[in-house]
C-alpha cells in the first residue's frame, strides 16, 4: 500500500466511526434512558471529532493549499470543507455542553436532536471529502513526502492522546475494518497496546453494539 491508499483508508474509516456513532446516538429516541457510561463515551467521540478536524485544518489542508496554486477546483474544495468544519465545530460545542448535563430530565432528547443535527451536516461533508481525496487524486494534489510530513505533524501534535484515540477508533470498527487499518501497524501496537486498549474500552460494549437500552 502507498501513503495515498493508507491515508484514504484511514480517512474513510475515521469518517465511518463518526457517522456510525451519530446514528447510534440518534437512535436513543427509542430508549428509556441513556446507557451507562454514555457521558464518558460521548466525550471520547467529541474528542475524536475535534482531533480529526483539527489535524486537517492545521496540517493536511495547509499542505494541500500549498500545492493547489493554479488549481481553482482544489482550492474551492478546501474552502468548502473549512466552512463545513466551522459549522461542525459549532454543533460539536453544543453536544459538549449537553455531555456535562446528562442527568437532566431532557438530556436524552437533547442528545438525539443535536446528534441528528450534526449528522445532517457531517454526512454530506465526509461524502464530499472521500469523493475527492481518493488515492489517485491525492497523488495528483500533493507530493508523497509532503503528505507524509503532514500526517507526521498530526501524530506529533496528538502523541499524548494517541492511544486513547486509537482505542476509540478500534472500538467503533468491526474486526474486518480493524484488520484493514491496523494490519500493517508495528507488532507492539497490534499485539500489546491494542489489546490493552480494547480491555479499557470494554465498558462501552453495550453502546457500541447498538446503544439503545
Q: What is the pLDDT along the chain (213 residues), one digit of tens a residue?
A: 899 999 999 999 999 999 999 999 999 988 888 888 999 999 999 999 999 999 999 999 999 999 877 678 888 999 999 999 999 999 999 999 999 888 776 889 999 999 999 999 999 999 999 999 999 999 999 999 999 999 999 999 999 998 899 889 988 988 899 888 877 765 456 666 677 777 788 899 888 876 443
Task: Identify the pLDDT of residue 186.
Answer: 57
Sign of the Cα torsion 144, 141, 8, 162 reads positive
What letters, b where the CB count within 10 A reaches 16 and e where it falls short, cover 173-194? beeebbeebbeeeeeeeeeebb
Q: Domain boundaries in the chain? A: 3-208
Architecture of domain 3-208: Up-down Bundle (1.20)
Whether pTM > 0.85 for this model: the answer is yes
Q: What angle do CA 193, 34, 39 make, to 5 degrees?
A: 45
Task: Identify the pLDDT of residue 70.
Answer: 66
C-alpha to C-alpha distance for 124 and 108, rounded to whole angstroms: 25
| Nearest to 56, CA basis, from 120, 3, 126 | 126
Task: Identify the pLDDT of residue 181.
Answer: 83
Helix intervals (H) in the chain: 3-26, 38-55, 61-66, 72-99, 107-132, 135-141, 144-157, 162-171, 175-182, 187-188, 194-200, 205-208
Q: Which three cell numbers stand for residue 78?
A: 478546501
C-alpha to C-alpha distance for 99 and 187, rounded to whole angstroms: 36
Amino acid at each position: 500500500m502507498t501513503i495515498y491508499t493508507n491515508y484514504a483508508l484511514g480517512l474513510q474509516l475515521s469518517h465511518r466511526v463518526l457517522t456510525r456513532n451519530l446514528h447510534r446516538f440518534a437512535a436513543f429516541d427509542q430508549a428509556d434512558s441513556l446507557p451507562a457510561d454514555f457521558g464518558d463515551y460521548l466525550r471520547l467521540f467529541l474528542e475524536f471529532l475535534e482531533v480529526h478536524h483539527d489535524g486537517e485544518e492545521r496540517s493536511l489542508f495547509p499542505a494541500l493549499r500549498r500545492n493547489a496554486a493554479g488549481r481553482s477546483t482544489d482550492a474551492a474544495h478546501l474552502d468548502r470543507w473549512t466552512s463545513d468544519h466551522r459549522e461542525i465545530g459549532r454543533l460539536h460545542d453544543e453536544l459538549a455542553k449537553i455531555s456535562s448535563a446528562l442527568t437532566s430530565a431532557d438530556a436524552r432528547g437533547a442528545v438525539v436532536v443535536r446528534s441528528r443535527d450534526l449528522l445532517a451536516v457531517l454526512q454530506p461533508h465526509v461524502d464530499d471529502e472521500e469523493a475527492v481525496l481518493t488515492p489517485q487524486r491525492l497523488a495528483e494534489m500533493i507530493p508523497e513526502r509532503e503528505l507524509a510530513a503532514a500526517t507526521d505533524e498530526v501524530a506529533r501534535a496528538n502523541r499524548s492522546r494517541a492511544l486513547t484515540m486509537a482505542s476509540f477508533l478500534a472500538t467503533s470498527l468491526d474486526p474486518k475494518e480493524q484488520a484493514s487499518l491496523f494490519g500493517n501497524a508495528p507488532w507492539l501496537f497490534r499485539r500489546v497496546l491494542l489489546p490493552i486498549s480494547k480491555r479499557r474500552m470494554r465498558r462501552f460494549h453495550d453502546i457500541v453494539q447498538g446503544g439503545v437500552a
